[in-house]
Amino acid sequence: MIWNKLRIIFKDSDLRKKILFVVFILVLFRVGSNIPIPGIDQSRLASFLSGNQFFGLLNIFSGGGLSNLSIVMLGVAPYITGTIIMQLLTMIFPKLKEMYHEEGEAGKQKFNQYSRMLTIPLAFLQGFGLLALLGREGIIVNLGLFDKLVNIIIVITGSVILMWLGELISEKGVGNGVSLLIFAGIVASLPGTIQQIAFTFDYSQIPLYLGFVIASVFVVAGVIIITEAERPIPVSYAKQVRGMKMYGGVSTHLPLRVNQAGVIPIIFAISILLFPQMIANVLAGFGGGTMKMIANFLAAFMNNLWLYGISYFILVFAFTYFYTAVTFDPEAISTNLQKSGAFVPGIRPGRPTAEYIGKVLNRITLVGAIFLGLIAVLPIGMKALTGMQALAMGGTALLIVVSVVLETIKQVESQVVMREYE
């Protein structure tokens, strides 16, 4: 079965071109990730990044471009942030909510256009803040005002180009472009991690390594199960007589995903938790005693694994419910079912149906929220138990990798099934 699908993939010229196009774009991205901006002190950069959790997490969402301050150092983070802000604004402005949920494909395209426009000022703010911070750390040196402006323009342009490349993948290739770019950056960092483990390999720690491998297998299996898990709600269509024929009467189901929010709650939580560290880095540059005291307090909070882990788990848990409420509207689902002559057996149409769907969604979201929280704090637990940074599994990175692989496989399989049918 698998060999037959592979044969169809390589035999079909259209599908083969799509896959090769995705590979070509990812190669371009990796080339750009290795072209640094001017004025970098590489030795200081390496020592700075090795012990900085803030930049380590940002590097995940930049697709690995931040590790050497490349021209695409911001990655798709400004675009993701812009999309998140636009989705949050749907709760404040009813017209945006109507555009996203009720105007169909044209409304979503207009909504996405606003997200693209918001990417540019966000890229400027993020680029300016990061370059200013790195300049104070002595990592970017010997640059005048004009050169600094050029660097800001370079990183903004790199972020916009990555956004464009991601949309090209979604339009002309296979899979979600933005997710694949992040996936490529995470996978590209694996050889370095393996090399670090190989150089520091200790034969007395073999049981620890075996335990890590076994834990990894169970974690990946858990991610797959929760990512794919659904709670089906039965839906029936009323029978309608038109002329001499009877229509409807069929039964189907409405699938509710356990992990409805994906990795977005983790991104929200990271943004909130890493904000104190950014403030601490800024305040550390001031000479005042009060500023130093605040900076030291924030740094102590970030370095306390228990406080950091508990706060991280609570934020991920809360944001899972919050983002699910933003993106999934039981009222709209109930209205659409009623308009199409469908109903949930045993539940009255209209508001009772919306309340029932909301009740079921809240219950399964509890499982998804706990799971996301555990995945988020997984690296902290591994580091606390083993004391080895190299073995600290990035829960966020793992979730992204598994989710992207599953999504891409589904899209490729749908293309194969369509060609088999033809």
Lowest-confidence range among 72-76, 141-145, 179-183?
141-145
410 neighbors 176 (Cβ within 8 angstroms): no
What pLDDT is stored for residue 144 in this prediction?
77
Report the greatest alpha carbon distance in the chain.
87
* Number of Cβ within a 10 Å radius of residue 178: 22
Mean pLDDT over all residues of the chain?
77
The larger pLDDT score, comparing residue 165 to residue 46, is at 165
What pLDDT is stored for residue 268 in this prediction?
74
CA 158 to chain centre: 19
Lowest-confidence range among 38-52, 276-290, 375-389?
276-290
Among candidate residues 274, 72, 33, the one with its CA nearest the CA of residue 162 = 72
CA–CA separation, 258 and 368 (whole Å): 5
What pLDDT is stored for residue 79 in this prediction?
85
Lowest-confidence range among 144-158, 225-239, 258-272?
258-272
Residue 63's region, left for phi above 0, alpha for psi from -120 to 50, else beta, is left
pLDDT band of 84, cuts 50, 70, 90: confident
Average pLDDT of span 55-72:
71
pLDDT band of 279, cuts 50, 70, 90: low
What pLDDT is stored for residue 224 in this prediction?
83
Average pLDDT of span 309-318:
86
275 neighbors 69 (Cβ within 8 angstroms): no
Neighbouring residues of 287: CB distance < 8 A, sequence distance ≥ 6: none
The larger pLDDT score, comparing residue 29 to residue 388, is at 29
What pLDDT is stored for residue 35 in this prediction?
85
CA 179 to chain centre: 7
The phi and psi torsions of 55 (rounded to 5 degrees) equal -70, -25
Half-sphere exposure of 319 (CA within 13 A, CB side): 23
pLDDT band of 210, cuts 50, 70, 90: confident
The larger pLDDT score, comparing residue 153 to residue 385, is at 153
What pLDDT is stored for residue 302 in this prediction?
66
pLDDT band of 278, cuts 50, 70, 90: low
What pLDDT is stored for residue 422 in this prediction?
56
232 neighbors 360 (Cβ within 8 angstroms): no
In three state form, how does the secondary structure of the chain look?
A: CHHHHHHHHHHCHHHHHHHHHHHHHHHHHHHHHCCECCCECHHHHHHHHHCCHHHHHHHHHCCCCCCCCECCCCCCHHHHHHHHHHHHHCCCCHHHHHHHHHCHHHHHHHHHHHHHHHHHHHHHHHHHHHHHHHHHCCCECCCCHHHHHHHHHHHHHHHHHHHHHHHHHHHHCCCCHHHHHHHHHHHHCHHHHHHHHHHCCCHHHHHHHHHHHHHHHHHHHHHHHHHHCEEEEEEEECCEEECCEEECCCEEEEEEECCCCCCHHHHHHHHHHHHHHHHHHHHCCCCCHHHHHHHHHHHHHHHCHHHHHHHHHHHHHHHHHHHHHHHCCHHHHHHHHHHCCEECCCCCCCHHHHHHHHHHHHHHHHHHHHHHHHHHHHHHHHHHHHCCHHHCCCHHHHHHHHHHHHHHHHHHHHHHHHHHHC
Considering the entire predicted model, what is its pTM? Answer: 0.76
CA–CA separation, 153 and 147 (whole Å): 10
The larger pLDDT score, comparing residue 199 to residue 251, is at 251
pLDDT above 90 covers a percentage of the chain that reads 3
Q: Is the pLDDT of residue 286 over 80?
A: no
User: What value, to the nearest 5°, has the Cα angle with vertex 289 and ends 286 and 293?
Assistant: 90
Q: Is the pLDDT of residue 303 over 80?
A: no
CA–CA separation, 57 and 60 (whole Å): 5
Cα of first residue to Cα of last residue in the chain, in angstroms, is 17
Give me the domains of the chain, ranges plus CATH numbers. 1-188+404-422 (1.10.3370.10), 205-391 (1.10.3370.10)
pLDDT in tens, 164-199: 998 898 888 887 888 888 888 778 777 766 676 666
What pLDDT is stored for residue 157 in this prediction?
92
The larger pLDDT score, comparing residue 54 to residue 109, is at 109
65 neighbors 28 (Cβ within 8 angstroms): no
- Highest mean pLDDT pick, 138-142, 251-255, 352-356: 352-356
